[in-house]
Amino acid sequence: MIRVMQVSTRHNVGGVSKLINALLSNKSTINSYITGECEENEVEFLLDTFDEPNKKLFKIKSLRRTPNLWNDLISLIKLYELIKREKPHIIHTHMSKAGLLARLAAIFSGSNAKLVHSYHGLIYENYFNRNLVKFLVFIERRIGQYTDAFVLDSQLIEKEIKRLSIRPKITQSVITPGVIEIDEPYIPRSRDSKALKILIVARLEQIKRIDRAIEALNLVSKVSPDIPFSVTILGDGQLKTELNRKSKEYCLPIEFAGWQSSLAPYYQESHLLLLTSDSEGTPLAIMEAAYFGCPTISTNVGGVADIIEDGSTGILCSDGTYEIAKAIIATFKHPNKLQQMSQSAHEKAKRDFSKELFIEKHLALYELLASKDK
């Protein structure tokens, strides 16, 4: 069996951690996982159990998202030691820091392992200043020369990689994230309550632009005061206090419910998922919501357009609050259209976003690389 080592910077609540858990559940490979520590304002996502013979978990306490030269050097050494000891056939890295350190450690160790790196979203958009981006792109181009394969989560990321002239040694694949393996049944539904139930699932950080969602909802309440709605926000972060204050200032019916271990009941009860980010990868929340027949209104960023069929399984908007408010109002005033989108979203989720398909495509890539001459 192929020995696959997954590496991430941290296993925080979010889409990347869910995808890693899916890959670690593959029983056709021998799996190990190296990850670091979450930041103080982050919550660690539930790790798969590692008491099975084909699974190992390694935590590196010095490996963190925040740059620290000493900690990063210690992490590089520990990664080097683990790679030398475990002798994986495939090293698959996720997130920027883990991607850099683990690939460097593999190169320094002289490992014959094939290197795979996943780009989860636009690489540096809205995260770093221009000069730092130039430096990081330079590094990615160089390390890409030693990386056997890239996994990209959308066609937009593929175009971005090409534009930046970042290339792997052998191949790159666009693999749509897939996490749909849910026991709860899908129940077809219409808007059976007078109020429109809106759900937001996101870290409460600036790039997620929950402030934009609040402004759009405030606009809805002003332009169409006859439209009743309620909003539940699942997530936490450094902006929670400020966002809560703003929602109360506008007298909006918003509940900040924090992170929840199970999102299924919220998807089942909601009519709409609302996403207003400045930047995204390929959001898993959209896929999960779609399975339960909860279509999404989203800003057209990152790989969102790859998973929402505009007007059929959801609505794509510009980043303007007026356009977002207009879309929310339209879904309330046209309940039959909302019901059609609900059904279409569910059908697309079953067809395109399954966990089995996601694992199958990765396994095919691993087998391809493992078959190459060392």
pLDDT band at 157 (very low <50, low <70, confident <90, very high): confident
Q: Tell me the two tokens of residue 18.
A: 């869910």
Q: Are 114 and 250 within one domain?
A: no
Q: Are 224 and 347 within one domain?
A: yes
Q: What is the pTM of this model?
A: 0.81
Q: Are 264 and 136 within one domain?
A: no
CATH of the domain at 26: 3.40.50.2000
Q: Are 118 and 207 within one domain?
A: no
* Residue 354: per-residue pLDDT: 87
* Residue 182: per-residue pLDDT: 60
Q: Does residue 74 contact residue 65 with C-beta atoms inside 8 Å?
A: no
Q: Are 120 and 242 within one domain?
A: no
Residue 72 included in any domain? yes
Q: Are 64 and 113 within one domain?
A: yes
What rounded mean pLDDT belongs to the chain? 91
**Structurally, how many domains does the chain consist of?**
2
For the segment 273-319, what is each residue's pLDDT rounded down to a tens digit? 999 999 888 898 999 999 999 999 999 998 899 999 999 999 999 98
pLDDT at 189 exceeding the cut of 70: no
Residue 187 included in any domain? no
pLDDT at 199 exceeding the cut of 90: yes
Q: Are 244 and 207 within one domain?
A: yes
For the segment 55-109, what is each residue's pLDDT rounded down to a tens digit? 899 999 999 999 899 999 999 999 999 999 999 999 999 999 999 999 999 999 9
Residue 188 included in any domain? no
Q: Are 303 and 359 within one domain?
A: no
Q: Does residue 43 contact residue 204 with C-beta atoms inside 8 Å?
A: no
Residue 189 included in any domain? no
- DSSP-derived secondary structure letter, 143: H
Q: Are 152 and 163 within one domain?
A: yes
Residue 219 included in any domain? yes
* Residue 152: per-residue pLDDT: 94
46-53: average pLDDT: 66
Q: Are 165 and 247 within one domain?
A: no
Residue 208 included in any domain? yes
For the segment 238-247, what is each residue's pLDDT rounded down to a tens digit? 999 999 999 9
For residue 227, give the H/E element and its range: none
Residue 113 included in any domain? yes
For the segment 332-341, what is each residue's pLDDT rounded down to a tens digit? 999 999 999 9
User: Which range marks the domain in which residue 243 is found?
Assistant: 196-352
Q: Are 150 and 245 within one domain?
A: no
Residue 184 included in any domain? no
Q: Does residue 274 contact residue 213 with C-beta atoms inside 8 Å?
A: yes
pLDDT band at 183 (very low <50, low <70, confident <90, very high): low
123-132: average pLDDT: 67
Q: Are 203 and 328 within one domain?
A: yes
